[in-house]
Amino acid sequence: MPTVTGHPERHAPTLEAVAEAAGVSRATVSRVVNGSPSVRGAVVEAVQKAIADLGYVPNRAARSLASSRTHSIALLVPEDVSRFFGDPYFASFTGGLDRRLADTEYVLNLVVARDDPGRKAVRYVRGGNVDGAIVVSHHRGHDFLRQLEGSVPIVYGGRPDVALSAEPVFVDVDNEAGGHLATRHLIESGRTRIATIAGPEDMPAALDRLAGFRRALREAGLPDDAVVHANFTASGGAEAMRTLLSRHSDLDAVFSASDLMASGALTALASRGVDVPGDVAIVGYDDSPAATWGEIGLTTVRQPSELMGATAVDVLLRLLAGDADVPHENIVQTELVIRDSA
């Protein structure tokens, strides 16, 4: 008789294998998988690491995948709740998700998890509760996102800066080009001492916008040292504007890396009696509702956040359908919207 040869059969990792790898009992692994609060943080981390290393899928998820999908998608936001509900960008991005999902059988589950120290979000996503996830507003250092790899298809809103084992799939704009576009507009309007209110130093979008700002100034032979970082909030923008005014009395223009920060900057300028755009011109980023909140319409770089949300859903649905040709980078275009401030 002919002999059939091939690769040895690979068995799915078991609860017992996870327990052995983590150095705990089978019952402890079961408690961690089921989200029990009775397990200490260090033990939870050891079990979650073993689960990620072995590629273990809890039985609940296996039964779900074997029978039918959950028809749920997680929107995972590693941010404070106040920032998520206070920033118009998130409302627009989430609106795009929701409108695109309206034509499908999927529902959206919101998971707001700043740093996720207890790994609750990781357990939720890995526990068979959702078919896929969209992660938005991630920061450098959010290493817990690595533990989501291999659990469900994931699309990132924005280019992630986390050391992942596989190339991530993301939807973004060219933030470097957007920062360059905003700064070039200020230069071409005759401004020569241009500052920027940059975003957080641990977010790729903020760093890319800052890089575009600096490139435009270098190309024009202008100084690029007037930089203050803030946290993408109106109060942060106001404080940053006050700092810039105290450090650089000669500045005549500002590029703000978000409209929300620009709205705070406009308030700070008004309180000092600084005329906009006569004394200081200002350009924002997003074209969110914050751009038209005040008496002075904000010139800004339009980031089509609703389209980005819809595109993230389209990409995730392709992944869920098993499409092997989904591009890793999905870039949508920005444009300059000119109003009164510059």
- Tell me whether the CATH fold assigned to 72-173+306-332 matches the one assigned to 175-303: yes
CATH 1.10.260.40 given to domain 15-58? yes
Answer yes or no: is pLDDT of 9 > 60: no
pLDDT given at position 115: 60
Picking from 93, 72, 87, the residue whose alpha carbon sits closest to that of residue 290 is 87
Alpha-carbon distance of 148 to 57, in angstroms, equals: 11
Burial 227-258 (b: 16+ CB within 10 A, else e): bbbbbbbbebbbbbbbebbeebeebbbbbbbb
Q: What is the mean pLDDT of the chain?
A: 85
pLDDT given at position 284: 97
Question: Could you tell me the two tokens for 80?
Answer: 């404070």
User: pLDDT tens digits for 63-78?
Assistant: 444 445 788 999 988 8
The rounded percent of the chain whose pLDDT value lies above 90 is 51
Answer yes or no: is pLDDT of 40 > 80: no
CATH class of 72-173+306-332: alpha beta
Enter the pTM of the model: 0.74
Q: How far apart are the first and last CA of the chain?
A: 83
pLDDT given at position 262: 96
Domain ranges of the chain: 15-58, 72-173+306-332, 175-303
Answer yes or no: is pLDDT of 317 > 50: yes
- Residue length, the chain? 342
Determine the 3-state secondary structure of 314 from DSSP: helix
- For residues 88 and 286, the answer to whether their CB atoms sit within 8 Å is yes
CA torsion sign, 162 to 168 to 172 to 178? positive
pLDDT given at position 36: 59
Alpha helices by DSSP H, the chain = 15-22, 26-33, 41-54, 59-67, 81-86, 88-101, 120-126, 175-188, 204-220, 234-247, 259-271, 305-320
Picking from 340, 205, 185, the residue whose alpha carbon sits closest to that of residue 286 is 205
User: pLDDT tens digits for 228-246?
Assistant: 999 999 999 999 999 999 9
Burial 83-104 (b: 16+ CB within 10 A, else e): bbeebbbbbbbbebbbebbeee
Q: What is the mean pLDDT of residues 209-230?
A: 97
Residue 82 CB-density burial (10 A; 0-12 exposed, 13-18 middle, 19+ buried):
exposed
Picking from 66, 50, 16, 38, the residue whose alpha carbon sits closest to that of residue 122 is 50
Answer yes or no: is pLDDT of 117 > 70: no
Q: Which one-letter amino acid corresponds to residue 244?
A: L
User: Which CATH superfamily is 175-303 part of?
Assistant: Response regulator (3.40.50.2300)
